[in-house]
Amino acid sequence: MNWIKTIIFIIAFSNSFAQNNNFDDIKGVVKDMPDREQRSIISIANYLKSEFNKPEDQLKAAFYWTATRINYATEQLRKKQDYVSMEHLITVTMETKRGLCQSFAEVFNKICHELGFNSYVVSGYARKSTGVLSNTGHAWNVVKLQNRWYLFDPTWAAGYFEIPESLTAKNSAQYKKVFSSKYYKVNPEGFIKDHMPFDPIWQLSNTIINYSDFDYERQKRVTSTSFQYKKIINQLAYITEFDQIQQSIKRIESLNPRHKLVKDNLSVLRRNLDIIKYNLNSEKYNKALAIQLRGLESFNEFITQYNNRSPDRKDFNRFNQLLDQAYNSVSEAQNSYKEIFTSNETLQLNLRIRYGEIADLVDRIIQEKKLLARNF
């Protein structure tokens, strides 16, 4: 049987794009890592810190560990895996030592954080070694080292698919787990040849290649002040998740995306934005509702005490104070409800109900204050 060896999603590019990709000095230490030290991200990071003094050696060892100890789960290509969160994905990956590109990227990212590196997981799509664009998304990493950002792909470093000349059901591609150092600490100008991030800031360049030019292998760059990537990335830690997603959507839309995967990613981002909006509005709603209930408690306390009243001027002051507390609380709640802007029909209905309740309670408070003035 004749085999054509290819690395799926990979174009072999010149080593001039890779930096310090000799792993001989760390392989032995990582291979000899005791099993007990490989059970958690924290234990791995602590072990690497104890074995290597230089931060870059620690980073290199983390990359090597991820690429060699996590196995590519080809069975997951056919069966979708559901995770409740990225933490859940990391937990399952560490337990099974199996996963797809997201698992490799998330685990490596987590180890980097434990080692003290500034790093992110990047989502995008890629070009296969044949030049054909992948029809599925991909994930990789960016890490800051010595005040400069570099790109890493632990999934592609982990192995490749060996593809026969003629693919059949019985003669299918076989995954070969063979470590490659090509995808460690890659410069942006090399990485962009076969990795296109959804968010253009992760091209790590102030001159951007748009999606269409990438798809047709045109290295045409556009200069724009909107993509001052260093400034934008440095601000990420200081802005909310909502603002991060909103800004990412604007950057992606500005490049007029036509690629299906980019459009799908935009849909996911918009859906995530709606979820965050809903959660934020729900939080505001619950806080406003608590204030409203506090006002209702004050009013009910007034009713209870008024029914057990004695004709004393002190009672009048106490009753009036309870009514004032009730009025102030429901007024505060109403103002808080007005800060909620939502298209969610259920939340809109609940807001209308709350406004009606507040209006009724305010009317009753006013009536009771008038009765108090007459009776005392």
pLDDT in tens, 120-168: 999 999 987 667 788 889 999 999 999 999 999 999 999 988 766 665 5
Total count of domains within the chain: 2
Per-residue confidence (pLDDT) for residue 171, from 0 to 100 = 59
Give domain status of residue 233, yes or no.
no
3-class secondary structure per residue, 46-86: HHHHHHCCCHHHHHHHHHHHHHHHCEECHHHHCCCCCCCCH
Give domain status of residue 217, yes or no.
no
Give domain status of residue 213, yes or no.
no
Give per-residue pLDDT as tens, 305-355.
Answer: 888 876 666 678 888 899 999 999 999 999 999 999 998 899 999 999 999
Residues 192 and 340 in one domain: no
Contact between 290 and 239 under an 8 Å Cβ cutoff? The reply is no
Per-residue confidence (pLDDT) for residue 165, from 0 to 100 = 61
Q: With bands split at pLDDT 50, 70 and 90, how would you rate the model's confidence at 75?
A: confident
Angle between helices 86-96 and 101-115 (to 10 degrees): 100
| pTM of the entire predicted model | 0.79
Instruction: For residue 222, count other CB atoms closer than 10 A to its CB.
Output: 14
Per-residue confidence (pLDDT) for residue 66, from 0 to 100 = 98
Residues 8 and 138 in one domain: yes
Q: Above 50 in pLDDT, residue 8?
A: no
Using a 10 angstrom Cβ sphere, with 0-12 exposed, 13-18 middle and 19 or more buried, the burial of residue 292 is buried
Q: Above 60 in pLDDT, residue 2?
A: no
pLDDT higher for 269 or 169?
A: 269
* Domain range for 151: 3-197
Encoded tokens for 236: 């990420």
Residues 314 and 189 in one domain: no
Q: Above 50 in pLDDT, residue 376?
A: yes
Identify the domain boundary among 197, 219, 236.
197
Per-residue confidence (pLDDT) for residue 170, from 0 to 100 = 58
Give domain status of residue 208, yes or no.
no
Q: Strand 174-176 to strand 98-99: parallel, antiparallel, or no bridges (unpaired)? A: unpaired
Q: What is the mean pLDDT of the chain?
A: 88
Give domain status of residue 364, yes or no.
yes
Residues 75 and 166 in one domain: yes
Per-residue confidence (pLDDT) for residue 167, from 0 to 100 = 57
Q: Provide the CATH number for the domain around residue 20.
A: 3.10.620
Q: Above 50 in pLDDT, residue 16?
A: no
Beta-carbon contacts of residue 361 (< 8 Å; ≥ 6 apart): 295, 296, 299, 326, 330
